[in-house]
Amino acid sequence: MQGAIAYTVRTISVVVCMISHSLRWTIRDLDALPDDGGWKRYEIIDGELFVTRAPHIRHQGAGGNIHVELEIWSRQTQLGKPFQTPGVIFSPTDAVIPDVVWISQERLANGVDEAGHLTVAPELMVEVLSPGELNEQRDREVKLKLYLLHGVQEYWIVNWQLKTLEIYRRSDTQLQLVATLLETDTLTSPLLSGFQIAIAQIFL
């Protein structure tokens, strides 16, 4: 009898495990999650749910400084708009909240849904790394592939702890690492003609 019970328990555990691994989250599922006042960030990539805590203030500061400089440049050129922590929905199973984006007027014109989410890929995505191996893997590998797939032209990965900024730029079918900028360097981009910012200024 005890053997039968143990077998039943193992069988149930296997079934539950299979269900949890086969579950694919969608943007509709996110609507059912409780509102925690912004303490958590919910993202879905290829149907997998990623939950992160509200970031460190230095993390937010770096993203905010990049957004300010992009905003100033965009107002001068009228070529596009930057947004900080927007919802970007690529598909029902791919929805992310990058730290900063910049999107051209052409893409923005028809790329916003009724809830105010972007539904097209911005030309530029910026992610500020959060501490932890899993967080770093998500930004360096999982999101890199996602952004490549959906047509992002340039991807900046910011490390506020090391005070560095990595530039990944589209080349043929890849987003390739073209530079790792240090605190003494200046950031420019062919995507944003005339834009520049000292890396040290990002981490003030």
Structural domain contains residue 165: yes
Report the SS3 class of residue 3.
Answer: helix
Contact 73, 100 (CB under 8 A): no
Structural domain contains residue 81: yes
Task: Pick the more confident residue, 19 or 22.
Answer: 22
List all residues 6 or more positions away from 42 whose beta carbon is below 8 Å from its beta carbon.
30, 33, 49, 50, 51, 97
Distance CA 129, CA 59 (A): 8
Phi-psi category of residue 197: left, alpha or beta, with phi > 0 → left and psi -120 to 50 → alpha: beta
Contact 33, 42 (CB under 8 A): yes
Structural domain contains residue 11: no
Structural domain contains residue 163: yes
Structural domain contains residue 114: yes
Contact 25, 93 (CB under 8 A): yes
pLDDT above 50 for 12? no
Please give the tally of structural domains in the chain: 1
Give the model's pLDDT for residue 129. 96
pLDDT tens-digit series, residues 137-165: 999 999 999 999 999 999 999 999 999 99
Exposure b/e, 34-69, CB count within 10 A at least 16 = b:
eeeeeeebbbbbeeeebeeeebeeebbbbbbbbbbb
Contact 122, 93 (CB under 8 A): no
Structural domain contains residue 67: yes
Pick the closest to residue 127 from 136, 119, 118 (CA basis).
Answer: 136
* pLDDT-derived band at 34, boundaries 50, 70, 90: confident
Give me the domain span that covers residue 184: 56-202
Give the model's pLDDT for residue 38. 72
Distance CA 104, CA 34 (A): 33
Residue recorded with tokens 């919910």: 42
Give the model's pLDDT for residue 24. 92
Question: CATH number of the domain that 149 lies in?
Answer: 3.90.1570.10
Structural domain contains residue 16: no
Structural domain contains residue 15: no
Give the model's pLDDT for residue 9. 34
C-alpha 76 chain-centroid distance: 26
Please state the pTM of the whole predicted model.
Answer: 0.86
